[in-house]
A and B are shown apart, each in its own frame.
Chain A
Amino acid sequence: MAVETQNNASDRLSAEIAGLDALELGGKQRGSIAGRLWGRLWPMGIAVLLVLAVWEIVVLSGRWPEYVLAGPTTVIPELGARLADPEFYSAVAVTMRRALVGFALAMLIGLIIGALVSRIRPLRAGVGSLITGLQTMPSIAWFPLSILLFGLTETAILFVVILGAAPSIANGLIAGVDYTPPILLRAGHMLGFRRLQLYRLVILPASLPSFLAGLKQGWAFAWRSLMAGELLVIIANQASIGEQLHYARELADSAGLLATMIIILFIGIVVDMVFEAADTSLRRRWGLHQARN
């Protein structure tokens, strides 16, 4: 009987504590997906309209003839025509394949180099600054060498794409390892993790946000290098976005050139949004997101 009352009392206490905890947690709110999408879409729509208006005004000013600078009214139908053309999609597919292969290889190489450099002290001083140096090197400066080494081949393009992206990715990882909160290292140490296990269970996950930032920057470099490469290295029978850009200029096809540029911009924005979504979801899971105003 006494035990029972004691149990009841402790049950009540537990319930009270659960109540307190519920109070401490509070409610949380997130808008609906449609609402959030709309919130992002309308400012973008306004920005696009603004750009189109400025463009049209410049065209109407008559500074350049129509075959040099086409207006939105000709470019947009041209864009529509391309979107209906299967050849266009094969060009996009070639470019995206190069982008993905190059980026994936850059990620692998950046990961390996970053991991080694962040782990091995002597590598640190030399290779660390070399990586930062590589990052500041304009990728187009690599093409002459790359073409000498590999000829006018896809390898030449991929080589430069990798050189453009890998340093950023490696640097992102190194920075993440460097800025792992010391308290988490101590916690890992206290839990008995040493060396590789500490690296795998604590340091690598802790550097994920910085690594993601490096990936995003690496992608920007990869995309730029790829476009430069496709303009310079024209491979027969392999239509690509950069190649279309090249021929549009040769043929003074202003509308086609601008339509292609819009597609390049569009792809860049879409990929950036993917990275942003990954970053946002990571921040939300980690509780790093700032309160929206």
Chain B
Amino acid sequence: MTAPLTEHTESRPEGATPAVRLAGVSKMYGTGKAGILALDNVDLTVAQGEFVCLLGASGCGKSTMLSLVAGLDAPSAGKIDLDGRRVSLMFQEPALFPWLTVSANVEMALRAKKLDKRQRRASALEFLDMVHLGGFGDKRPHELSGGMRQRVALARSLAQDSDVLLMDEPFGALDAMTRDLLHDELERIWRERTLAVLFVTHNVREAVRLGDRVVLLSSRPGKVVQDFPVTLARPRRTDSTEVARIAAEITDHLRTEVVRHAR
């Protein structure tokens, strides 16, 4: 069985409700000549329950796009429609609060819920267990390794219980084994909660492993250039031959994109 690999097709299942809709979104940093056009006229839709991976060269505006969707920044033009859905964003850096313990960091995400202290703590430990850090609740963030901190940040994002999960290179600092495990865990939670996920990565195989679609952004300015549906059956394995084949194809497109830019 081979996966169809078409360009510019929306592969959303029929009738799926859009969770995130970007229409003609542009983002300009600064003004006039010194301004940088980070995103140019981006159209993108992520359905509820859809997992979309975002690929693109460094500096092409992926983080910018996520912070626009998260509402941390306003677009210079265009519209972002979330239809009142709650968003959580896992930043490119862990962004943990250094004055709090690991579990208190996760508990910060639970403040919106009406829980008492003990319930909050128990709930935080559950989320830490999901990222296999159950025994580290009383540590301080700086006592953990970079990869472990990212996992705490993941636990904190999951604890927010949002409908839309934005993730900016969440597994960049992880070893392959831990990453595989967290892929499984993330896939499970995504299914369970029918989340809409927008997942930024530089790792093409990771994108194919996780995504229903892999979206390619061009650089300077960032624009959606290609949209690959990935129809491989789940669960997939990062080291399977199908994943490798599709990843190789996407990498070719990425390369032409980069080469086009070099001229």
Do the beta carbons of B97 and A17 come within 8 Å of each other? no
Q: Which residues on B sit within 8 Å (CB–CB) of A205?
A: 97, 99-100
B263 CB, nearest partner CB in chain A, Å: 36
Complex Cα spacing A187 to B93, Å: 10
- What chain A residues lie within 8 Å of B132 (beta carbons)? 14, 17-18, 21
Pick the contact of B140: A183, A192, A208, A287 (CB < 8 A).
A287
Cβ-defined contact, B108 with A21, below 8 A: no
Give the CA-CA distance A186 to B147 in the complex, in Å. 21
A24 touches B99 (CB 8 A): no
Write the chain B residue with the least CB distance to A15: B132
Instruction: Give the residues from 233 to 247 in chain A that come closer than 8 angstroms, CB to CB, to chain B.
Output: none
* B181 contact set on A, CB distance < 8 A: 13, 17
| A20-B177 in contact given A191-B109, A191-B160, A201-B108 (Cβ < 8 Å) | yes
**A184-226 to B contact mask, C-beta < 8 Å, 1/0:** 1011011111000000011001101000000000000000000
Is B201's CB within 8 Å of the partner chain A? Answer: no
Residues of A within 8 A of B178 (CB): 17, 20
Chain B residues with Cβ under 8 A from A208's Cβ? 99
Q: Which residues of B contact A (CB under 8 A)?
A: 67, 70, 72, 87-89, 91, 93, 95-100, 108-109, 111-112, 132-133, 135-136, 140-145, 147-148, 156, 160, 175, 177-178, 181
B140 near A202: Cβ-Cβ < 8 Å? no
Say yes or no: A286 contacts B72, CB within 8 Å: no
**A54 near B: Cβ within 8 Å?**
no
User: Known: A20-B178, A201-B108. Contact between A186 and B72, CB under 8 A?
Assistant: yes
Interface size on A, residues (CB 8 A): 27
Do A24 and B148 form a contact, CB below 8 Å, given A183-B95, A286-B140? Answer: yes
A287 with B142: CB separation less than 8 A = yes
Which one of A17, A24, A186, A201 lies within 8 Å of B91 (CB-CB)?
A186
Least CB distance from A128 to B in Å reads 26
Interface CB pairs A-B, < 8 A, 10: A13-B181, A16-B177, A17-B178, A18-B132, A21-B148, A25-B144, A187-B96, A192-B112, A192-B160, A287-B98
Interface residues of A in 1-25 (CB under 8 A from B): 13-14, 16-18, 20-21, 24-25
A183: contacting residue among B70, B87, B88, B91, CB under 8 A: B91
Number of A-B residue pairs, CB cutoff 8 Å, is 75
Interface centre among A14, A17, A25 (most CB of B within 10 A): A17
Contacts of B148 in A (CB 8 A): 21, 24
Q: Chain A residues with Cβ under 8 A from B88's Cβ?
A: 190
- Given A187-B97, A202-B97, 19 extra CB contacts under 8 A: A14-B132, A17-B178, A21-B133, A24-B147, A25-B143, A183-B91, A183-B93, A183-B95, A186-B72, A186-B95, A187-B95, A190-B72, A190-B91, A191-B108, A191-B111, A191-B156, A192-B111, A286-B140, A287-B141
Q: Are B97 and A190 in contact (CB under 8 A)?
A: no
Shortest Cβ gap from A217 to chain B (Å): 21
Return B218 CB to nearest CB of chain A, in Å. 26
Query: What is the CB-to-nearest-CB distance from A46 to chain B, in angstroms, rounded to a whole number?
Result: 35
Residues of B within 8 A of A17 (CB): 132, 177-178, 181
Tell me the complex Cα distance, A145–B256, Å: 78
Enumerate chain B residues within 8 angstroms of A285, measured Cβ to Cβ.
99, 140
Q: How far is the CA of A184 from the CA of B70 in the complex (A)?
A: 15
B91 touches A287 (CB 8 A): no
What chain B residues lie within 8 Å of A189 (beta carbons)?
72
Known: A187-B91, A286-B140. A21 touches B99 (CB 8 A): no
Q: With a CB–CB cut-off of 8 A, which chain A residues contact B136? A: 21
CB B182 to nearest CB in A, in angstroms, measures: 9
A20, A183, A190: most-surrounded residue (chain B CB, <10 A): A190
> A287 to B108, Cβ gap below 8 A?
no
Residues from chain B with a CB closer than 8 A to the CB of A21 are 132-133, 136, 145, 148
